[in-house]
Amino acid sequence: MTIISASVGLEKFMKHAPAVINSMLEIQNKQLDSKDPQRTYLLSAWQRICLLMGMQFGPYLDSVIPSLFQMATLNPEMGIQGSQHTGDIVDVLNEVKPEQSGDKKISLYTDEIEEKDVAIQMLAVFIDELGAVFAPYAESASKILLAMIDYEANDSVRNSVAGALPGLIKCVKGADPSNTVIIQNMAKYYLDALYKVMNKETETDTLICQV
């Protein structure tokens, strides 16, 4: 449905936008549980609608952002065969990491990690496309992204986080260019955080994203 919407263009789509978006919200809120892997497809659909509508998508953010934040903050769990214990995937990964791997990071790929990464990429799209319209959510998004800036279980998550941070500064600046103190503090904090994780990063692609 959203692929067709993107194909017909904004002018024709706007006549049907409320019906399409309400249908998507109905699916999101009532037909998908918290572990349904189809949620990633819905996120991709929201991305297409956002790219099509641009800033006109702003009024629907209140309905979409909570689910997006929830997926971005997923804490995937895993267990070890022969043990009944399960825990946060990063903690378990640290326990079973081979000694010979040294400081080399290991990337895991699960449905939950994929959802997490897609949600972060989606946040980046919202931030870049909506600019100042996203500013009311910038503080919450910033906390979520910074908490995952050194996410050890998957390098793609670290890449996505590094790519999303600069856009937050732009959206805050777009909302109030005169608020130079907050803008400068954000830039300094992000740079310090990125520099710190770069000193521990072992993946070349991730280092490039962080630079």
List the CATH number of the domain containing 145.
1.25.10.10
| Domain annotation covers residue 99 | no
| Domain annotation covers residue 48 | yes
Instruction: Quote the percentage of the chain above a pLDDT of 70.
Output: 83
Per the structure, the complete domain to which residue 169 belongs is given by: 2-72+109-210
Maximum mean pLDDT: which of 34-38, 68-72, 104-108, 187-191: 187-191
The residue among 148 and 90 whose pLDDT is bigger is 148
Q: Which residue matches tokens 């996120």? A: 43
Average pLDDT, the chain: 85
Q: Structure pTM? A: 0.81
In the predicted structure, residue 93 carries a pLDDT above the cut 70:
no
| Domain annotation covers residue 17 | yes
Distance between CA atoms of 114 and 94, rounded to whole angstroms?
Answer: 20
| Domain annotation covers residue 137 | yes
Maximum mean pLDDT: which of 13-22, 58-67, 108-117, 167-176: 167-176
Averaged pLDDT, 96-113? 62
Q: What are phi and psi of 74, to 5 degrees?
A: -55, 140
| Domain annotation covers residue 62 | yes
Give the per-residue pLDDT at 3: 81
Q: Which of 201, 197, 194, 41 is nearest to 107 (CA)?
A: 201
Averaged pLDDT, 125-135? 94
Taken as a whole, the chain contains a residue count of 211
| Domain annotation covers residue 136 | yes
Q: Domain count for the chain, please give it.
A: 1
| Domain annotation covers residue 90 | no
The tokens describing 162, both together, are 């590094």
| Domain annotation covers residue 200 | yes
